[in-house]
Amino acid sequence: MVMTPKEPLSQENLIATKNQPSSAMLEAKSHSPAQSFFGSFLQTIKDVFSDKGVLLLLMIAPIIYGFFYPWPYSTEVVNHVPVGIVDQDNTNLSQTIVRYASASPQLDTKRFLNEQDAQEAIWSDDIAGYMIIPSGLEQQVLSGKAASVSVLGNGGYFLLNKNVQMGFLQAVSTVSAGVEIKKSVAQGAYSATAAANTQAVPLRIIPLYNQTEGYGAYVVPAVAILILQQTLLMSTAMLIGTWYEQRRHTASIRGWLGRIAALSMFSFIIGCFYYGWTFELHHYPRGQNMLGSLLFLLLFCPTVATLGCVFGLWFRQRERSIQILIFSSLPMFFVSGYPWPANQLPEFLQIIRWVIPTTPGINTSVQLNQMGASVAQVATGFYALAGLWAFYFLLLLLFRWCTSQSKTAF
Give the chain's largest Cα–Cα span: 141
Task: Say what the pLDDT of residue 34 is.
Answer: 58
Bridge partners of 85? 111, 131
Residue numbers in the chain where pLDDT is lower than 70: 1-34, 177-203, 405-410
In three state form, how does the secondary structure of the chain look? Answer: CCCCCCCCCCHHHHHHHHHCCCHHHHHHHHCCCCCCHHHHHHHHHHHHHHCHHHHHHHHHHHHHHHHHCCHHHCCCCCCCEEEEEEECCCCHHHHHHHHHHHHCCCEEEEEECCHHHHHHHHHCCCCCEEEEECCCHHHHHHCCCCCCCEEEECCCCHHHHHHHHHHHHHHHHHHHHHHHHHHHHHCCCCHHHHHHHHCCCCCCCCCCCCCCCCHHHHHHHHHHHHHHHHHHHHHHHHHHHHHHHCCCCCCCHHHHHHHHHHHHHHHHHHHHHHHHHHHHHCCCCCCCCHHHHHHHHHHHHHHHHHHHHHHHHHHCCHHHHHHHHCCCHHHHHHCCCCCCCHHHCCHHHHHHHHHCCHHHHHHHHHHHHCCCCCCCCCHHHHHHHHHHHHHHHHHHHHHHHHHHHHHHHC
Alpha-carbon dihedral of residues 44, 48, 49, 50, nearest 10 degrees? 90
Within a 10 A sphere around the Cβ of 183, how many other Cβ atoms? 15
CATH number of 81-198: 3.40.1710
d(CA 165, CA 147): 18
Bridge partners of 151? 131
Which amino acid is located at 143 in the chain?
Answer: S
d(CA 69, CA 225): 13
d(CA 381, CA 337): 13
d(CA 290, CA 392): 27
Task: Say what the pLDDT of residue 407 is.
Answer: 57
Q: What is the pLDDT of residues 168-209, one digit of tens each?
A: 888 888 777 666 555 554 555 545 554 555 555 666 778 788
Task: Say what the pLDDT of residue 79 is.
Answer: 83
Task: Say what the pLDDT of residue 179 is.
Answer: 60
Q: Domain map of the chain by residue range?
A: 38-72+214-409, 81-198
Task: Say what the pLDDT of residue 182 is.
Answer: 57
Q: What is the pLDDT of residues 304-331, one digit of tens each?
A: 999 999 999 998 888 888 888 888 888 8
Q: Taking the model in full, what pTM does it have?
A: 0.79
